[in-house]
Amino acid sequence: MVFIGGGWKMSTDPSKERSFTIVGNNAKNMLTRAGISVPKGMETKKLPAELGLSFPVALKVSDPRILHKTDVGGVKLNLGKEELKSEFSVMKKRFPDSSFLIEEMQQQGVEFIVGVLKDPSFGYVIMLGGGGIYTELYHDVTFRKLPISRVDAGEMLNDIREGMLCDGFRGIRINCEALKELLLSISRMIIDGADEILSMDLNPVIVSKDDAVVVDAKISINAKKADAPGKRE
């Protein structure tokens, strides 16, 4: 597997399974059902009068056609109420056909990336690495074949530089047990899904001293499995 154009893909030819990508609330609802923490928020095409959220908030374009939201000006952070109105208007003009996520900002933490791919030779493989916009620059990642155990999750953390923060560094301490639990939840989600999920890109996952929260997610779904009786919500 290699990094290509900002993501990570199989270096061999993928299977011919039809798929579609889900983002925004749809992706985060899947994660929530698996017991994975996501920010409190809402997806909308129009800015409502009342959000029911605590400020400051993040505003993001939510569109499976847009792979790198930051690069196209599709992410605004730490917005107050009046700033949100202004930025929403600007973003709506820039992306008139898209939906938008409005979410509460997360407490400060360290960014990770978690990914899953269905490799034609090895089956499902999970990746952990340093996240955020520097993922492509550092390529500090590690892989394991699914399913994984808690020991595997711990070893994955030890494989990457960010894992050193588990013991604390210059006042920075993160909840590595929460991150291990997230990796295990993803493993169970994939194995229990009976090939429904073909790939997953969770970036960033913000790990603070209290929790591990998936801030952004893209999930590729097997169209054939999704169309099967009983699979529609």
The 10s digit of each residue's pLDDT in 23-39 is 999 999 999 999 999 99
Residue 5 has pLDDT above 60, yes or no: no
Kindly state the average pLDDT of the residues 188-205: 89
- Determine the pLDDT at residue 20: 86
Confidence of residue 136 (pLDDT cuts 50, 70, 90): low
The structure tokens listed for 14 are: 């993928």
| Alpha-helix residue ranges (DSSP H) falling in 4-149 | 24-33, 81-94, 135-138
- Determine the pLDDT at residue 91: 96
Radius of gyration of the chain (CA): 18
Using an 8 Å Cβ cutoff, are 22 and 219 in contact?
yes
The structure tokens listed for 34 are: 């698996």
Digit-coded pLDDT (tens) for 56-98: 999 999 998 887 888 899 999 999 999 999 999 999 999 999 9
- Determine the pLDDT at residue 230: 43
Buried b (16+ CB within 10 A) or exposed e, 33-49: eeebbbbebebeeebee
CA of residue 49 relative to chain centroid, distance: 28
- Determine the pLDDT at residue 153: 97
Residue 219 has pLDDT above 70, yes or no: yes
The structure tokens listed for 55 are: 């400020």
- Determine the pLDDT at residue 10: 42
Most confident of 12-21, 154-163, 218-227: 154-163
For residue 111, the number of C-alpha atoms closer than 13 Å in the C-beta half-sphere is 11
Lowest mean pLDDT: which of 58-62, 73-77, 120-124, 222-226? 222-226
3-state secondary structure of 151: helix
Residue 208 has pLDDT above 70, yes or no: yes
- Determine the pLDDT at residue 120: 84
Element at 156 (helix H, strand E):
helix 150-159
Using an 8 Å Cβ cutoff, are 23 and 128 in contact?
no
Residue 3 has pLDDT above 70, yes or no: no
Domains and CATH numbers, the chain: 2-36+108-226 (3.30.470.20), 41-104 (3.30.1490.20)
Residue matched to tokens 């917005």: 79
Q: What is the pTM of this model?
A: 0.84
